[in-house]
Structure 1
Amino acid sequence: MDAAHIGRRIAYWRDQRGLTQADLGRLMGQSRRWVQDLEGGQRQTDPRLSVLQRAAHALRIPLERLVANTPPPSPDATLPADVAALVDALHAPGPSGQVVPLGTLHRRVAYCCQAWEACHYAAAARELPSVLADAHRTADTGPAAAVLLSRAYQLTASLLFKYGSPARTPAVLAADRALTAAQQSGDAVAIGAASRRVARGLMHQQRYGAAAEYATATAETLRPALETGGAPGLSTLGMLYLVAAVAVTGDGRSPRTVGAAADRLAEADDVAAQQGERGADYTSFGSTNVSLHKVDVALRLDDAWSAVESSADITPGALGALGRERQARHLVTTARARALTRDRGAATRDLLDAERLAPEEVRRPSVTRLVGELMELVPTPGPELTGLARRCGLPA
């Protein structure tokens, strides 16, 4: 085996998983320098099989990906046409024309939010460029118009974050514009909701500590106003704590990160108890959503078994009461956890359930990669998995 080639493959898959050398070192029980030497082909001329097996397990890939001579697949850098047009719209000249009636603009923004919640991402992406243009023309007419402009940018950011690295920079730009419009409005709910997207942007830039601190500080600053803002305010406050809990996990598993994530989840639980199960502002926030985040946090902290166990406590009825986007995203999370615990049949079933709910969620690049990994991990893929792979554009 060529140590240099294997080292480059390890570096490639580490990058695909969004891990630093220190992250991979922690997963393998080694130092960052040890990983640096391994990737540089300097650990030994012929890496031991046990080392490669540990690396493959930590990277969640078949061992063959590290030792085969076939080049790794290139990441999908192509955005769907409607999403690419939305990115272009962020750089369009300032709109001119007549101010749109506030009621009309509200209905159009609500349509985009409902399309998002139903996982009709292409429909939302098609509508958003003209909604953003109309919202800009109307924004200076008063606080309510500025809130609608912020909402349109918040949704743009959330949609673009779905498409990974090719859309990361425009998504961060949209989040920043959402916060600027929200601050112009002076509305605490809009400021909190936009801040949540800014925190997501920091996470997508792998600035996890900054994201956790920002979301937590924003929640604490806005808490008095949000707690008096009814269900929209409480939902926004709870979601800020949930984003902080997820952000904490980006620094890898340690006593500190486990404790900090648990603290943020507990704070979100307290807010859910105040609000009740009826979330607002298209957040699906409530005790069930907190439970879904507990599953996600466990998985991100490299405890797939706990993630699977926690998911069993969520009843189908409680999950079905949430929006389709949140349901489908949870099913993708449980599929990842089941794949890591070698329950690949259940992982396939979760992905098929997610596809039935929300085909566009399963066609996203990160989910498509998970389907491809299952195709390689399952010795003899059945017709359900091969059919799903074909529908995701993968060879099967």
Structure 2
Amino acid sequence: MRSEGWEMDELPIGRRVAYWRNRRKMSQQVFADRLGKSKSWVDKVERGVRRLDKFSVTSEIADVLQVDVQLLLGREPERRPDSINCIDQIEVAEIRSALERYDQISAFFYAPPEPPPLAEMRKATAHAWQTLLHAKWGVLTRSLPKLLREAQAADAAYAGTDGAPEAAHLLGQVYQITSSAMRRLGELDLGWLAADRSIAVSQRAGDQLLAGVATTRVANALRALGRHRSALEVNVNIANRLAPNATEPGTPERLSVYGFLLLQGAMAASCIGDSATMQDLLNAADDAAQGLGGDFNHYWTSFGPTNVLLHRAAASVELGDGGVAVAVHESIDPEAFRNLMPERRAHHFIDMARGFAQIGDITKAGEMLLECDHLAPAEIRCRPIAHEVMSDVLRRAKGSPPTAIADLAEQMGVGV
């Protein structure tokens, strides 16, 4: 993915400084103050009247602008070899900046900005969900900073009006989208922060099911940070509160969120080797899925009988039982699988690449990676877990890997 700024390679360094200063929404005076320079000095640098001869000064400017110094020098920044992904540090900085805004607090002291109409926010948020569910990570991360700012502005501006619950609901969704994207792309601290924000906002929206799905984002962030037992407890706790009963029957939406919580709990249990709890939760999720009568995407859960099977396979892989995972994989109805969202299917291919590798079938593991790349290229090229799986497949392969695998590994930046 190429950043918008990288198209400025041929511009003088002063113009590049001005570009990033404007992108950071800093005036020349604010920029000068942060550098400890005069506004006149900044103006001369940006107009090319004053040259930037010292690397130390250029590096200090880069720090203030929160960009890689290589960008200011007109070069593509080097990526960390252990974490190649499809979100560059510019998007990370902008998403972090957006998450650190506190528009609700500011609204107590200042008139909030003119919010975007809620109809526009609904459309933009729905589009972001579709982008996530199709695993178009580069497209999503480029749109998230603006979406976050607008959703936060709307939430602050509509506070105390009839539009407040919907504005909070939309912001809760945007936080969940952000959390899922950041966790998948390896930005775990941002995944946790966005998930935590989504909980509070969802409660303000007055929607238990939205809060239930937000809980899974928090739990998944905890799991990504290695806190599997906490993830298990929070999933099960909220699932129990949403369990259908005589007074609150299981609507399709409620069953979906309840079952989704159970599936995420099962994954957390598998990560700590608690196979008994894992099986109990999977069986309960299957009961909910059978009550639903098919695979649906209520509250963006993709929940249903087929997704339960995908989680059975994934949980078995986490336990190191690739044989069980492969058996489950082979039992999945192909048509039902094709009807799932691309991101869900692509993630399953990565899980099964791990599963086949566990039983020593490296050829089939490679085929799973190729299937994933064909279905959703960004899923395998952008996610750190996919790079780990590819490295494992290459390491286990006897002799040179097949040409298709070697080519894919090269495109991913994974050494053969």
Q: TM-score range by the shorter chain?
A: 0.7 to 0.9
Is 2:295–2:305's contact at 8 Å kept on the other side of the alignment? no
- The answer to whether the 8 Å contact 1:83/1:160 transfers is no
Q: Which residue of 373, 388, 392 maps to 1:369? A: 388
2:169 maps to 1:169: no
Q: Kindly state the Cα deviation for residue 222 of structure 1 after the two structures are TM-superposed.
A: 2.5
Partner amino acid, structure 1, of 2:135: C
Q: Secondary structure, in 3 states, of the residue corresponding to 2:300?
A: coil
- What residue in structure 2 maps to residue 99 of structure 1? 115
Greater Cα offset, 299-308 or 128-137: 128-137
Counterpart amino acid of residue 350 in structure 2: V
Shift of 1:371: 1.1
- Is 1:159 matched with 2:176? no
User: When the two structures are superposed, what TM-score results if normalisation uses the length of structure 1?
Assistant: 0.76
- Pair 1:136–1:355, CA change in 2 (3 A): same
CA contact (8 A) 2:86 2:138 kept: no
Matching residue of 2:373 = 355
Aligned partner (choices 222, 234, 238) of residue 202 of structure 1 = 222
The verdict on how the C-alpha distance between 1:79 and 1:117 changes in structure 2, with shifts beyond 3 A counting, is closer
User: Matches of 1:385 and 1:202 in 2, distance apart?
Assistant: 33
**Unmatched 5+ stretches in structure 1:** 1-72
Aligned residue for 1:234? Answer: 255
Of 339-348 and 367-376, more deviation after overlay is shown by 367-376
Which of these two proteins has the greater Rg computed from alpha carbons? 2
Pick one of 180, 200, 217 that aligns with 2:237.
Answer: 217
Q: Which amino acid aligns with 1:380?
A: S
Deviations 1:76-111 (A, max 9, x none): 277622642323432346485212222111110000
- Match among 293, 304, 307 for residue 286 of structure 1: 304
2:87 matched residue in structure 1: 80
Cα RMSD of the aligned pairs, angstroms, is 2.0
- The alignment status of 1:382 with 2:402, answered yes or no, reads yes
Identity of aligned residues (%): 31
- Of the three residues 127, 132, 140, the one matched with 1:124 is 140
SS in 1 for 2:230: helix
Match of 2:203 in 1: 183
Is the 1:143–1:185 contact (alpha carbons within 8 Å) kept by the matching residues of 2? yes
Query: Relative to structure 1, is the Cα distance of residues 76 and 311 closer, same or farther in structure 2, using a 3 angstrom cutoff?
Result: same
Q: Deviations over 1:305-347 (max 9, x none)?
A: 1111111101221110100000000011111111111111111
* 1:309 corresponding residue in structure 2: 327
Task: Choose which of 262, 275, 293 in structure 1 pairs with 2:292.
Answer: 275
Q: How far, CA to CA, are the matches of 2:86 and 2:349 in structure 1?
A: 23
Find the aligned partners of 2:84 and 2:339 in 1 and give their Cα distance.
34
Do 1:99 and 1:138's aligned partners in 2 also have CA atoms closer than 8 Å?
Answer: yes
Q: CA deviation at 1:243?
A: 0.4
- Given that 2:91 and 2:145 are in contact with CA atoms closer than 8 Å, whether structure 1 keeps it comes out as no
In structure 1, the residue corresponding to 2:331 is in which secondary structure?
A: coil
Name the aligned partner's letter for residue 89 of structure 1: A
TM-aligned CA deviation for residue 291 of structure 1: 0.4
Q: Deviations over 1:244-294 (max 9, x none)?
A: 000111212xxxx11100110011111111212141222211000000000
Q: Secondary structure at the match of 1:262?
A: helix
1 CA distance for matches of 2:392 and 2:374?
Answer: 20
Question: 2:139 is paired with a residue of what secondary structure?
Answer: helix
Q: Give the number of aligned pairs.
A: 318
What TM-score, normalized by structure 2, do the two folds share?
0.73
Cα distance, 1:369–1:386 mapped onto 2, change above 3 Å:
same
**Match in the other structure for 1:64:** none
Q: Distance in 2 between matches of 1:227 and 1:261?
A: 26
State which of 102, 124, 131 in structure 2 corresponds to 1:115.
Answer: 131
Deviation at 1:230, TM superposition (A): 3.3
Counterparts in 2 of 1:216 and 1:391: CA distance versus 1, 3 Å: same
1:247 aligns with 2:271: no
Alignment correspondent of 1:259: 276
Deviates more, 1:132-141 or 1:359-368: 132-141
Gaps in structure 2 of 5+ consecutive residues: 1-79, 107-111
After superposition, the C-alpha distances for 1:5-34 in whole angstroms (9 at most, x for unaligned) are xxxxxxxxxxxxxxxxxxxxxxxxxxxxxx
Distance 1:146 1:228, change over 3 A: farther
1:115-142 deviation digits (Å, cap 9, x = unpaired): 0111111112122222221211222232
Following the alignment from structure 1 to structure 2, what is the Cα–Cα distance between the partners of residues 78 and 88?
20
Distance across 2 between alignment mates of 1:147 and 1:192: 13
Deviation of the 1:369 alpha carbon: 2.1
Which of 275-284 and 119-128 deviates more?
275-284
Q: CA deviation at 1:224?
A: 4.3
1:309-348 to structure 2, matched below 5 A, reads 309-348=327-366
Would you say the 8 A contact 1:83–1:122 is kept in 2? Answer: no
Q: What amino acid is the match of 1:241?
A: L
